[in-house]
Structure 1
Amino acid sequence: MQDDKKNIDEVVSLKLYKDLLRPRMIEEKMLILLRQGKISKWFSGIGQEAISVGVTNALNDDEYILPMHRNLAVFTTRGVPLHRLFSQWQGKMNGFTKGRDRSFHFGTQEYKIIGMISHLGPQLGVADGIALAEKLQNRNAVTAVFTGEGGTSEGDFHEALNIASVWDLPVIFCIENNGYGLSTPTKEQYNCKNLADRGLGYGIESYTIYGNDIIGVYTKVKEIAEDLRENPRPVLIEFQTFRMRGHEEASGTKYVPDELMAEWAEKDPISNYEKLLLEAKLLSEEKIETLRTEIETEINTNLKLAFDEAEVESNTEQELLDVFASFEYKETNPGSVVEHIRLVDAISKGLKQSMEKHPNLVIMGQDVADYGGVFKITEGFMDAFGKERVRNTPICESGIVSTAMGLSIKGMKAVVEMQFADFVSSGFNPVVNYLAKSHYRWNEKADVVIRMPCGGDVGAGPFHSQTNEAWFTKTPGLKVVYPAFPYDAKGLLGTAINDPNPILFFEHKALYRSVYQNVPADYYTLPFGKAALLKEGQDITIVSYGAGVHWALDTLEKHPDISADLIDLRTLAPLDIESVYKSVEKTGKLIILQEDSMFGGIASDISAMVMENRFQYLDGPVKRVASMETPIPFSKILENNYLPKERFVTALKELLAY
């Protein structure tokens, strides 16, 4: 430490001390307020401050840091106003989440800090995305992301390290090994000597550093960061430290042996650094007292601002508006030249034209580059746009969805291809908990489109045939698009990529090469939330989407005596329920056809809304027709029975006769 000290000038030395002292004093104040019931919860970083302070000072102010809930010092070192932090912890409007989230579950672009969510893992992939964007934007910048030793057990940790290694991303992965994951000791978390050793398996340079030595942390991370800016690659650092308080204050520390607490108390990063500065005559007792007085005054002044702030008021309209980032749809009309093409061709051409329109758009997915994707939708794209923008990914859906979010945070757009919609289950958490909630929580868009090749009637069995749109229509913050025709698919895809919100774009595999249509050759867009009336009639309203639309069309062709309105929803979120209402007012009867199994599907909600809002117009019960309540089987005989085609015809006739 003495040798390191010789290389640090006085200004930096004193700044590091002040940066250590401020979060410690804030924490001590917060623990008092917690006991007084003036804040609801606290995750203490006492004893670990040197890691946050060292890493933050080693990075440039315009470089992103993704901290955890014990990294208060990241926020204070970056100069985040204390009154806003205090408002955040009290759920006030002047915080960063308008009272919608607590603790450090927020980000701030102004200070280049991206906070965590309770699920721990996704932020590691988000750091990959930010670092990828920095490379694509030709910026020599480093991204630092934190996790705990317990978080390294998450699959996201391993996915993020692998992605960063394969793509040579300048990410510093910081593991704060503080002894316990809540009450679970490290010996029950992993079975290797050092967590840094895990870097070897991914070809990543790694280090184990004593995390309570502020000079050692600062100098080593600064050295690494300077090198990474010139030679981009990931580095894994395990910081050995200790958590001197409980996981959160209610947990306590009774599970920790007294001798272990005593041992680490003697290693306190602040008191030991203070002693070093006193010995070096860079600090005096008087200067310490002056600093403490200044910080205490700063804390109390900002606390008063937060306490004096009015309690947050709930405005229903504003709450709903903030779920999505603002998007003003601008219609682009096509030219007169048309092509008679398949659904798969329309999606490919629409995607290619969006790549031409948006130079900041990146496509990611398994086998999407040289191979062109398993359905050949991106065939030729790599030659046209390069491997930087058309990127083969490792098989790690969660990590890639999180990476897409990181690209968005850095001002780019991402299209992620799920090789099959079924595989989104491996990336479910970042979709529904990170992408969907970011704008509502802290006003950050998630400019990501996830393409979802889906659906049955192709004899592919339970893992390649699901139509799982209901997983996402249930989640506020996601938009869900499900076209049935080439014309709609191309126009809606253009809009989806323009829209800065997270979108699940469903593409039915059985329709890829079986449905043809005249489609404009030029780029064009279509609006979300507007259903298409495909047929008009007087006796009944049929509502469907995806392959169900074609099943309904076939039925009506075979039964020309049936006079029906046929509505293709096209988008499920937003949902054009008004078109359904208008039709039901005319026909008095409604049948809803979906390929998904019945319970919890979109048909259930449409039925409920019509019953609640247009009951007086109904001349019969609303009828839902769906697939069986089983996984989708492989055998074509079993699949035919599973799908609702024949049951739809029977139900349609029964409702007409009611």
Structure 2
Amino acid sequence: MYFNRAHISDEQLLAFHRALLYPRLVEEKMLLLLRQGKISKWFSGIGQEAIAVGATLALEPDEWILPLHRNLGVFTTRGLPLRRMFLQWQGSREGYSKGRERSFHFGSREHHICGMISHLGPQLSVADGIALAHTLAQRQKVTLAFTGEGGTSEGEFHEALNVAAVWDLPVIFLVENNGYGLSTPVAEQYRCAQLTDKAAGYGMHSMRVNGNNLLDVYHAVTNAKAYALQQQKPVLIEALTFRMRGHEEASGTRYVPPALLEEWAQQDPIHHYEAFLDYIGLLPAAQIGAVHRELKQQIEDDIHEVLTYADTHTDTAEELADIYARPRPQDSIPAATAPAAPEKRFINAISEALQTAMEQYPQLVLMGQDIAEYGGAFKITEGLVERFGKARVRNTPLCESAIIGAALGLSLMGYKSMVEMQFADFVSCGFNQIVNNLAKIHYRWGQAADVVIRMPTGAGVGAGPFHSQSNEAWFTHTPGLKVVYPATPADAKGLLLAALADPNPVMYFEHKALYRSVSGPVPEGWYTVEIGKARVVQPGTDISIITYGSGVHWALEYARQHPQPSLYILDLRTLLPLDYEAIREAVARTGKVLVLHEDTLTGGLGGEISAWIAEHCFHLLDAPVLRCASLDTPVPFAAALEKNFLAKSRLDQCIRRLAAY
């Protein structure tokens, strides 16, 4: 194996050796402890160390890296203390994720490492967001994201590369081609001759490198960085290597032909690099053993101190508290009392909130399909690009998942972002990023996801089954998200400003049928409506209707048309977290409760609310809790079918049934 030292000094070459050797020795120790039952799981990177180490050495310490579970060399080269990493691997609360995550599923802001999730592909898009933040701030920094050859089959790979190319982002996508995705060989993963061929489709520069040659990897990443910064464009690197052990230790390698293992064993990156140092007289073979012994002893010393560390403490209150990042109090400002706030339509209140927030937060970025010059599908962002520029009001490719991932990347860099789904129905294309990345990242390693996703939702406009769904219940089951759903123009503005101020991921549902049909007083300037607080729409004594969104207007219309029974109407406004005290009060006021929502009956939020009332407020009830919801079908197109589908068509029947108790 030929090593091109180029401009690298003797001191650097020796430091490179220690950086390369150290993760191998750490891993050999971990495999021993795994067999002894001291740690529970391990994903081996033996034979692949040159890629992680060489890439990390080529970057500055403050340039973000998004590694995978075989990239121990990233963590060790960045200087994370072994003692704390070992506590992480033991599941200790003193590790990087308080015992909440396994192996390398954690990040460290201090070391500019973003932790992976098991779905692999989503971190590629997060790298786009980090790079976008650097571009917006005019910082000459690259971002490097790892993936495997199997990961290139994921849709997220295409989306992330496409966005990086279209937006000219300085991202290095480093593919570790180690021959197998678990047991599936590359011949069953892709048909191109080499993975660098994929780069051409994105107009992207690419390189192919021997991943077992430390200096080749170092030079490749160094050159890729220079190109990415000079041209402000992404680069794809394919690093050829081999996985010498199983996908994880329990899986073994029986599916690998023995001859292939023998062939790659002859290309061990450490043996070859040490032979090179011996050849140039920098580290004679007789001295190499001393370096091994020194590092092994260092590892033993570090591990010994925490090997028997007992950690059995659990704190339920802390677990629940760490689901969300804590908002800054100064961002929560109630609406000022005004004698006559101007009347505005629901849609204009949302537009005004976005403009107000863009002025309040210079690092707020709006992203979505057609939101710039066109103004969005519903013209909510019309005029914002002229006022704030295309850097902050960004049209996106049809890559919902990648854009949500990029929003998370922006959050890592201290930016806020709003992502507009053209229709709430289309969020399914970005579901993985929302429920597995955004929602869990703060609980996993304390990183906030300062992202708002606007969701034009609901039926009643004849848009059919793919543009009319009420899918809020998809997200109320996901700890770490906040879900808001305003029913009035004042709440539409105040809740959106609260969502944009909140450092947590917020799903903001806005009903399309309310855009131009509902008007009301909207206070001027900046104010917020507290997330998690319901609103009593009107008092009543006979039946309590607990509802949100369009259901509020259905209930009010019914109350106007039917003075009896007397209806107590509660607008939840926030669906996660729910205002249980307001729900309890609604039950206590009348003893009869109807939960009304536009979503379908089965799996709708009404089921959760009904169960909570039955469990906690049974003694207050004078009748069973009833639910009034839409039919358990997709949303039909024809006007008569859609009217029959909606819960409103059964509201009178439900109220009469409840009143009869």
Q: Smaller-chain TM-score range?
A: over 0.9
Q: What does residue range 568-607 of structure 1 map to in structure 2 within 5 Å? A: 568-607=571-610
Pair 1:528 & 2:531 matched = yes
1:614: which partner in 2?
Answer: 617
Contact 2:3 2:216 in 1 (8 A): no
Deviation per CA, 1:63-117, whole angstroms, max 9, x where unpaired?
0000000000000001100011111110011211111110100110000011210
Q: Which shifted more, 220-229 or 256-265? A: 220-229
Pair 1:460 & 2:493 matched = no
Q: What does residue range 363-512 of structure 1 map to in structure 2 within 5 Å? A: 363-512=366-515
SS state at 1:350 partner: helix
Amino acid at match of 1:595: E
Pair 1:93 & 2:93 matched = yes
Contact 1:133 1:410 in 2 (8 A): yes
Q: What does residue range 149-188 of structure 1 map to in structure 2 within 5 Å? A: 149-188=149-188
Contact 1:99 1:312 in 2 (8 A): no
Deviation per CA, 1:331-350, whole angstroms, max 9, x where unpaired?
24337463211100000001
Q: Which shifted more, 286-295 or 88-97? A: 286-295
Compute the displacement of 1:308 (Å): 3.5
Q: Which runs of 5+ in 1 are unaligned?
A: none
TM-score (norm 2): 0.98
Contact 2:207 2:220 in 1 (8 A): no
2:336: which partner in 1?
Answer: 334
Compute the displacement of 1:433 (Å): 0.3
Compute the displacement of 1:292 (Å): 1.3
Compute the displacement of 1:195 (Å): 0.4
- d(CA) in 1 for partners of 2:620 and 2:47? 68
Compute the displacement of 1:328 (Å): 4.2
Amino acid at match of 2:251: S
- d(CA) in 2 for partners of 1:471 and 1:534? 26
SS state at 1:506 partner: strand
Q: Which shifted more, 354-363 or 305-314? A: 305-314
Deviation per CA, 1:308-362, whole angstroms, max 9, x where unpaired?
4221421000000000011244324337463211100000001110000000000
2:225: which partner in 1?
Answer: 225
Distance change >3 Å, CA 276–CA 398, structure 1 → 2: same
- d(CA) in 2 for partners of 1:26 and 1:446? 32
Contact 2:3 2:276 in 1 (8 A): no
1:8: which partner in 2?
Answer: 8
1:49: which partner in 2?
Answer: 49
Pair 1:559 & 2:562 matched = yes
SS state at 2:353 partner: helix
Contact 2:452 2:506 in 1 (8 A): yes
Amino acid at match of 2:528: T
Contact 1:91 1:312 in 2 (8 A): no
Deviation per CA, 1:589-619, whole angstroms, max 9, x where unpaired?
1001010001121111111111111111111
Contact 1:64 1:114 in 2 (8 A): yes
Compute the displacement of 1:574 (Å): 1.6
User: What is the aligned length?
Assistant: 658
Q: What does residue range 136-151 of structure 1 map to in structure 2 within 5 Å? A: 136-151=136-151
Pair 1:254 & 2:257 matched = no
- d(CA) in 2 for partners of 1:294 and 1:308? 23
Compute the displacement of 1:654 (Å): 1.2
SS state at 1:625 partner: strand
Contact 1:334 1:523 in 2 (8 A): no
Amino acid at match of 2:391: E
SS state at 1:595 partner: strand
Compute the displacement of 1:481 (Å): 0.3
Contact 2:52 2:73 in 1 (8 A): yes
Compute the displacement of 1:509 (Å): 0.2
- d(CA) in 1 for partners of 2:7 and 2:502? 50
Compute the displacement of 1:306 (Å): 2.3
SS state at 1:501 partner: coil
1:238: which partner in 2?
Answer: 238
SS state at 2:84 partner: helix
Deviation per CA, 1:386-426, whole angstroms, max 9, x where unpaired?
00000000001111110000000111001000000000000
Compute the displacement of 1:473 (Å): 0.4
- d(CA) in 2 for partners of 1:35 and 1:104? 19
SS state at 2:629 partner: strand
Q: What does residue range 205-224 of structure 1 map to in structure 2 within 5 Å? A: 205-224=205-224
Pair 1:273 & 2:273 matched = yes
Contact 1:450 1:505 in 2 (8 A): yes
Pair 1:302 & 2:305 matched = no
Compute the displacement of 1:543 (Å): 0.8
Amino acid at match of 2:445: W
Deviation per CA, 1:261-294, whole angstroms, max 9, x where unpaired?
1111111110011001001011023432222122
Contact 2:490 2:520 in 1 (8 A): yes
Contact 2:544 2:567 in 1 (8 A): yes
Contact 2:10 2:282 in 1 (8 A): yes
- d(CA) in 2 for partners of 1:134 and 1:76? 25
The one of 527, 550, 553 aligned to 1:550: 553
Q: Which shifted more, 148-157 or 206-215? A: 206-215
Contact 2:64 2:143 in 1 (8 A): yes
SS state at 1:195 partner: coil
Distance change >3 Å, CA 555–CA 242, structure 1 → 2: same
Amino acid at match of 1:481: V
Deviation per CA, 1:182-212, whole angstroms, max 9, x where unpaired?
0000000000000011000000001111111
Contact 2:48 2:242 in 1 (8 A): yes
Amino acid at match of 1:344: I
- d(CA) in 2 for partners of 1:586 and 1:467? 29
Contact 1:19 1:77 in 2 (8 A): yes
1:346: which partner in 2?
Answer: 349
1:132: which partner in 2?
Answer: 132
Distance change >3 Å, CA 3–CA 471, structure 1 → 2: closer
Compute the displacement of 1:222 (Å): 1.0
Q: Which runs of 5+ in 2 are unaligned?
A: none
Amino acid at match of 1:206: S
- d(CA) in 1 for partners of 2:98 and 2:76? 20
- d(CA) in 2 for partners of 1:306 and 1:323? 28
Amino acid at match of 1:265: A
Contact 1:588 1:620 in 2 (8 A): yes
Deviation per CA, 1:126-184, whole angstroms, max 9, x where unpaired?
00000000111111000000000000000000000000000110000000000000000
Q: Which shifted more, 329-338 or 586-595? A: 329-338
TM-score (norm 1): 0.99
Contact 1:335 1:521 in 2 (8 A): no
Amino acid at match of 2:344: I
1:317: which partner in 2?
Answer: 317
Amino acid at match of 1:263: E
- d(CA) in 2 for partners of 1:482 and 1:208? 49
- d(CA) in 2 for partners of 1:310 and 1:131? 41
> What root-mean-square deviation, in Å, do the aligned CA atoms of Structure 1 and Structure 2 show?
1.1
Amino acid at match of 1:84: R
Distance change >3 Å, CA 217–CA 630, structure 1 → 2: same
Compute the displacement of 1:3 (Å): 6.6
SS state at 1:4 partner: coil
Q: Which shifted more, 4-13 or 549-558? A: 4-13
SS state at 2:404 partner: helix
Amino acid at match of 1:593: L
Q: Which shifted more, 319-328 or 72-81? A: 319-328
Amino acid at match of 2:153: S
Q: Which shifted more, 284-293 or 643-652? A: 284-293
2:106: which partner in 1?
Answer: 106
Compute the displacement of 1:623 (Å): 0.6
